[in-house]
Amino acid sequence: MNNSVLNITVSGFGSATSTEPKEVNLLTWLTSDKYRHQVEAVRKAVTKEHRTELKKRLPAITPSGTFTRRNLAGLVKHSGLICLDIDHKENESLENFGDLKNILSKIENIAYCGLSVSGNGFYCLVPIERPDLHKEHFQALSNDLRRFGITIDQSGSDITRLRFYSYDPEAYFNHHATIYRKLHQAPPLEVQKVQKVQKVQKCNIAFSETKNHFQALLKLLTSTGTDITNGYKNWFEVGCGIASEFGEAGRSYFHEISRFNPGYLATKADRQFNQCLRHRYQFTIKTFFHYAKLAGLTLDRITIKNSGTIAGHRSNIFTDAAKII
């Protein structure tokens, strides 16, 4: 498919020890059965040592980009994709692990999901909005999946990481996967200026409670996909309130809140937040609380989805996965 999100060029390597890359079409790589028998030999290997040795002989690719050499300095172009590894040994608490591919296929951002080389795990490919913020997207994806009790291998944050050839005749493909826009939010910087502290203390909520209140409502907003920025006035005032409270550290929050608006564009959101930072508008974090309340987001709705555990929801914990991610 010419218009597939997977129809792109990545770098290929002859084996784990190869240093000379060649251009490989990712979609062709994913659908080829050329090395099927080698993969089957890996899966039949009795010992871990033998399995590892056979695996190293397989060809591999760097799904996140093209390189002149397999290091960051050799990066030619990011592919716009992140690779996620989900190993069974790190997810033994999931009773329905064997069904995970079908479950992940419900998430609109997953472009591909197939068996790993060993056959004991899965790997996924996800298109991202900001390739220059690879690690921030990866951590956000990791956090999203962790909410469902799924642990992903953190080595996926490495742009240069190899993905060995694997074979899965029943792999899942979504050629028109939705681009993943969420970025990991660094904790807001502690307020150090006395003037800032005094300003916050004027609120009827103590500063620590204000921050916790904001974080709790933001989590509810993202988990429900609620848009509180409908109309320019709402969007502008929410942005100014976030800028007033967090300064530059609030930029990622503003993107997170704005992305649920159908007209969201990262570039427009950046320009708007720059405007909010540049001028001292008379809006505070209370503005965010106000619009959140109008949208029905209040603390009494947070019956702590944290209290739900994997053990208590094994049969249907992924039902709303597409909405969350």
Domain ranges of the chain: 9-173, 194-306
Residue 122 bridge partners (DSSP): 86, 115
Residues 295-306 have a mean pLDDT of: 59
* 191 pLDDT tier (thresholds 50, 70, 90): very low
Q: What distances in angstroms separate CA 269 from CA 251, 261, 290, one per listed residue?
A: 9, 11, 20
| Other CB atoms within 10 A of residue 302 CB | 14
CA pair distance 61, 42, nearest whole angstrom:
18
| Other CB atoms within 10 A of residue 4 CB | 17
Cα–Cα nearest to 168, from 80, 105, 89, 93 = 105
Its pTM stands at: 0.60
Residue 188's pLDDT is what?
A: 59
210-255, pLDDT tens digit by residue? 778 888 888 888 888 889 998 888 999 999 999 988 888 888 899 9
38-90, pLDDT tens digit by residue? 999 999 999 989 999 999 999 999 999 999 988 888 999 999 999 999 999 88
